[in-house]
Each structure stands twice: as structure tokens, then as C-alpha cells.
């Protein structure tokens, strides 16, 4: 059974019962955080880019849990005393639970020489696409052709990323069966009504998950 646990903003965990994958672990200073950096569990920590609201507590969590951080090499330069795997866009990494593929995102990286990325993850018999921070781009069609996406996790907050109209179009480009909106309502600048997003999405189920809640991915 695969579980999605939403910790607020863009931080969430995928748990297949054996492995816990933590994404964009921004908890300290996150007004929407539903767990603390000291409590959260992880075997792998996947970071999309080095903006503070994504890399967040990554180093501290990887050090405490002895997890392995995954990201592009520039972002993996977080410390010599933690486990990291640096990879790059287009690469696929096979791990005991499935695989992790890095896919493009269009956004600034927050670090010199870096790029922002998204992830396609195979875990628990499902394919999950997490866009990270990005605008809408037409190559999302390629991402959806390469892997049949069961759940797309997309930012909808606008201002720093795509907003609800473009995110709804992204769902069509991806051909995703389900979509979980993130990266909204953390601050007033990214205030959005997820119900309005839901009304714009065609051909997919919108799963609105509040911080602190979890969803069984079926």
C-alpha cells in the first residue's frame, strides 16, 4: 500500500511500507508545516532545487536519519558527512523500491550552476510525477508518454510557479490519472482555491490533501 503524506507547502512523503521517500523537506520556518524536522522520517530525501522552501532542512534530516539525499550535483553539495547521490536531468536511478528519474522543470535553481528539476518515481506499483517548481511547458507531454502517470503532484500557487489554469493544462499534457495540488496557501502571495483548480481539471481526479493529512494512492 502506497501512502502520500502531505507535510505542507511542497514537502511530502511517499511510503510503500518499506521505504520512505521525503520530497523538498522545508519544515523549519514553513507556516504550513504539519511535522517538525526532528520528527520526520526518511530513507531517501529528494530535492528539486536549492530555494529555501525546497532544500529546507534537507541536510539536517539526512544527517539525523542517515537517509540518502538525491538531486543534481550542485544541490547535493550540501555536506561531506552525509550520503548523497548526484544525478542529472534524463538520468534514471534504480533503487530497491523502484526507480527515480530526473525530468526538466522551468524555474530558477537557487544555486550557482544548477537547474531546477522534477522527478518521476516508480514506487509501490505506481508512477508518481512531482513537478517541483515550474511553469507549464509542452514537453510535459513527453514525460507523460514516457511513463503512464498515476499521480501528478503539481504546484498551483502562481507567482513563483504555474497557477491553476496552467496547472490544469499540465494535467492534460501529462495525461495523468490523478493530480494532487501543492505549493499554495503557504503565504498570501500563493493563495489559491484548490476547488477552483478542481473545476478546471478535465479527465483526471483531483485529490485535495491538507497539510497533516495522508492519502492512500490506489
CA of 68: how far to CAs of 30, 65, 125, 188, in Å?
Answer: 23, 9, 22, 33
Q: Which is nearer to Ni ion, 133 or 166 (CB)?
A: 133
CB under 5 to 8 A by kind: which of Mn ion, Ni ion, none does 57 bind? none
Return d(Cα 177, Cα 20) in angstroms, integer. 23
Q: Which is nearer to Mn ion, 53 or 147 (CB)?
A: 53
Residue 133 touches Ni ion, criterion: CB under 5 A:
yes
Residue 53 touches Mn ion, criterion: CB under 5 A:
yes
The window from 47-55, 56-64, 81-89, 111-119 that contacts Mn ion (CB under 5 A) reads 47-55
Binding-site string for Mn ion from residue 130 to residue 169, where x marks contact by CB under 5 A and - marks none: ---x------------------------------------
CB under 5 to 8 A by kind: which of Ni ion, Mn ion, none does 158 bind? none
Which of 5, 9, 20, 51 binds Ni ion (CB under 5 A)? It is 51
CA of 73: how far to CAs of 87, 94, 147, 212, in Å?
Answer: 6, 17, 24, 31
Q: Which is nearer to Mn ion, 24 or 147 (CB)?
A: 24
Binding site for Mn ion (CB under 5 A): 53, 133
Amino acid at each position: 500500500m502506497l501512502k502520500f503524506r502531505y507535510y505542507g507547502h511542497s514537502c511530502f512523503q511517499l511510503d510503500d511500507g518499506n521505504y520512505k521517500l521525503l520530497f523538498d523537506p522545508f519544515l523549519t520556518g514553513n507556516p504550513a508545516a504539519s511535522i517538525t524536522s526532528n520528527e520526520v522520517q526518511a530513507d531517501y530525501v529528494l530535492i528539486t532545487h536549492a530555494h529555501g522552501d525546497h532544500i529546507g532542512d534537507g541536510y539536517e534530516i539526512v544527517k539525523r536519519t542517515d537517509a540518502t539525499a538525491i538531486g543534481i550535483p550542485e544541490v547535493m553539495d550540501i555536506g561531506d558527512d552525509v550520503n548523497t547521490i548526484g544525478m542529472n536531468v534524463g538520468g534514471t536511478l534504480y533503487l530497491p523500491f523502484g526507480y527515480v528519474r530526473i525530468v526538466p522543470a522551468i524555474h530558477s535553481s537557487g544555486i550557482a550552476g544548477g537547474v531546477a528539476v522534477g522527478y518521476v518515481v516508480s514506487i509501490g506499483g505506481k508512477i508518481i510525477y512531482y513537478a517541483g517548481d515550474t511553469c507549464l511547458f509542452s514537453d510535459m507531454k513527453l514525460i507523460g508518454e514516457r511513463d503512464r502517470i498515476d499521480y501528478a503532484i503539481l504546484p498551483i500557487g502562481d507567482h513563483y510557479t504555474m497557477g491553476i489554469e496552467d496547472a490544469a493544462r499540465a494535467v492534460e499534457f501529462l495525461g495523468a490519472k490523478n493530480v494532487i495540488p501543492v505549493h499554495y496557501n503557504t503565504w498570501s502571495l500563493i493563495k489559491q482555491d484548490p476547488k477552483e483548480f478542481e473545476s478546471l481539471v478535465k479527465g483526471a481526479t483531483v485529490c485535495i490533501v491538507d497539510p497533516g493529512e495522508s492519502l492512500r494512492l490506489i
